[in-house]
Amino acid sequence: MLDKIFNALKSYNNKINEVEYQFYKEKKNFVEIYERNRFLESEIEHRTNELNQANRSILALSNILDTMNSSEPLSEIVKKIVDRLSADMGYVYAMLFQIVEEDGDSFLKVRAVSEGEYSTNISSILKKPVELLKIKSDESNIVSKIVQNQEFDFINNFEAVFESSNMELDEGQKEKLRAVFYPKCISLLPIKTQDSKFGAVLVVSQRKEITETEQNFLKLFTNQVDLAITIAGLFETIRNQAVTDPMTGLYNRRYFSSYIVQEVERSSRLKQPFSLITLDLDHLKQINDTFGHSIGDEAICTIAHVLKKNARNIDISVRFGGEEFGILLPGIDSKGAMVAAERLRVAIEKESVKEVGHVTASIGVATFLEHTDNIDELMEIVDQAMYRAKKNGRNRVVLASVEQKESWTEIAFDTLREILLSPDGELSSRIEPDIKKELEKFFDTNPKELTEKLFQLSDDIIKRYDPMHSEKNSIKEKIHLASKLAKEAKLDEEEIDKIKLSIILYDLGNLFVPEEILLKPGPLNRKEAYQISQHPTIAVKQILKPVEKIQNIFPIVEHHHENWDGSGYPGQLSGEKIPIGSRIIFIVDAYCALISDRPYRRAYSQEEALKILEEGSNSKWDGNLVKLFISIIKQ
């Protein structure tokens, strides 16, 4: 009996052991499966993170590549670079440094920083914008060191960026920066463009360390940044060349002409004046003739240096051409402008040019909304003030005068009114009554609008006998070119005004020439050529003669088609016997005609037109004036 019980217990125990074995075996399989699943989940998460990182890297590189296809300024490109690092790659902060030259020394300056919480915290701790940071280009600072050695580096203390800089930190600031950035890893990567050092990129990661994959990406990223910055730099160079004078680095006339329009709009809207200073280097011709043009160029660059040194950030300094310069002073009235102009005069006089010694400048000042609210009148009266400074002994500042003698525009306007509306005038008798009524309204104009109205009326008259008259040969453009040429020829203010007045009136005789002759596509016969040759005489003796106040311009008007060699008309005058005003108008008129379409030919290019003028020097046109004119157009 006991044997049976014992055997039964033994059998039961064996079954329990067998169950326990099976359970242990299943448990082991389950643990193995569980561990395998955990490994797979970890591997999937790792691979997913790598894939996400790769996608972000591709996106960041793609965005950098996009910047290469744009023509945005370099400042915009570097800002996009740091923003891409934050937005696409998840870095909490990024900043970009650029090497700059200041007073003969090389520095690293912050060119762009990413926006966000960290940027705000840094500015709060520094109590000033981090963009003011400036690091000398040596190995005393970690950033300058990696730029000098062109090697990547990784740090954990952000405050090291400020060592040996213009922003030395106290212990409290260092402690606060450590609290913000610890234990994040900070990567420093050098940037170069082509074969020259450009600066560095700093990025702050959420992690303590950066993986090898991320390091490889950052190297690839900076290579693309190098190319993007190089292309942006080329665009910026080309853009600067288009708006700056190559010799002095100041803005050129083209940029100034567009900028002053914007400033006039802003000034008129805010009822806030701005002032314009123009200055002319004294005795440049004498300097060139005595010491050579290289010394003359040095004198010009000396003036430019003084303008740059004394101008505010918002001032616009310009070289109009030759020895003539200007500064536009936003928000400055005439009183402040006179102070600034006198400071410039003194600064110029203190400068020394080798072999020449000290140079001087004659300066004019005028203020928008105070002297006039018309751009053309502003340019004219400030030039008049500058020429009065020259006439009164040079090396002085003259303020534009509101109460001046009757201007050439007023004389021209009154003259046109008289010859077009006077019952006894030659032209008046040819004008229809309804047109006369329109003209009467036209002449009843606001004095402030006089100049523009004058140009408009003159162009309208010309279109009556020249339907192809356009902006290229407009009265305004001709006056601008003729004034510039007259100034280069050293004519005084009174002579220049006579030329301007003559340009308004010199071609009125064409109104008496039949339209079929003026617009004839082929060669003129002898009779037709004679009729054309009489239009200057008709203008003087039939149209303008009754107007007493313009008698002094008759020689200029009558002889504006005389050739230098004496083969012109109507008087066959030659050389210096031709009034210089006539010679200037003849060149400007010919150039504007050459670059405009005609019934019998296409418009010539600027280069072709200048070549024709050059070929006609000392036969058709005054050779010396042609040289000056070509120089003006090329500038």
pLDDT in tens, 12-50: 666 666 656 565 666 666 656 656 666 666 655 655 555
Cβ-contact 174, 181 below 8 angstroms:
no
Domain of 479 in residue numbering reads as 418-634
Rounded to an integer, what is the distance from CA 47 to the centroid of its chain?
Answer: 51
Q: Indicate if 469 and 350 belong to the same structural domain.
A: no
Q: Of 243, 266, 294, which residue constitutes the final position of a domain?
A: 243
Residue 508's CATH number: 1.10.3210.10
Q: Which pLDDT tens digit goes with each residue over 164-192?
A: 888 888 999 999 998 888 888 888 888 88
Q: Which residue, 372, 399, 426, sits at the end of a domain?
A: 399
Token representation of residue 261? 């329009």
Regarding whether 370 and 238 lie in a shared domain, the answer is no
53 and 119 share one domain: yes
pLDDT band at 85 (very low <50, low <70, confident <90, very high): confident
Same domain membership, residue 320 and residue 371: yes
Cis bond before residue 183 (omega within 30° of 0) = yes
Indicate whether 99 pLDDT > 60.
yes
pLDDT band per the 50, 70, 90 thresholds, residue 282: very high
Please count the residues of the chain: 635
Q: With bands split at pLDDT 50, 70 and 90, how would you rate the model's confidence at 156?
A: confident
- Torsion angle (degrees, nearest 10) of CA 365, 368, 369, 371: 40
In-domain check, residue 408:
no
- Shared-domain flag, residues 477 and 392: no
Is residue 137 over pLDDT 90?
no
Same domain (yes/no): 102, 125: yes
- Regarding whether 320 and 262 lie in a shared domain, the answer is yes
pLDDT confidence of residue 88: 64
Token pair 């900070």 in the structure block, residue: 186
Rg (CA), the chain: 39
pLDDT tens figures, 506-562: 766 566 556 665 566 667 677 766 666 676 676 667 777 777 778 888 888 888 889
Instruction: Single out the residue in 243, 267, 290 at which a domain terminates.
Output: 243
346 pLDDT above the threshold of 70: yes
State the sign of the Cα–Cα–Cα–Cα dihedral 247, 249, 250, 253.
Answer: positive
Smallest CA-to-CA distance from 468 within 560, 588, 602, 586 is with: 602
Give 452-472 pLDDT, tens digit per residue: 777 777 777 766 655 556 666
How many domains, in total, are found in the chain? 3
User: Which residue matches tokens 């279109």?
Assistant: 463
- pTM attached to this predicted model: 0.48
Question: Is the domain of 207 the same as that of 273?
Answer: no
In a domain, 155, yes or no: yes
Does residue 78 carry a pLDDT above 90? no
409 domain-assigned: no
Are residues 5 and 145 located together in one domain of the fold? yes
In a domain, 258, yes or no: yes
Percentage of the residues of the chain whose pLDDT score is greater than 90:
21
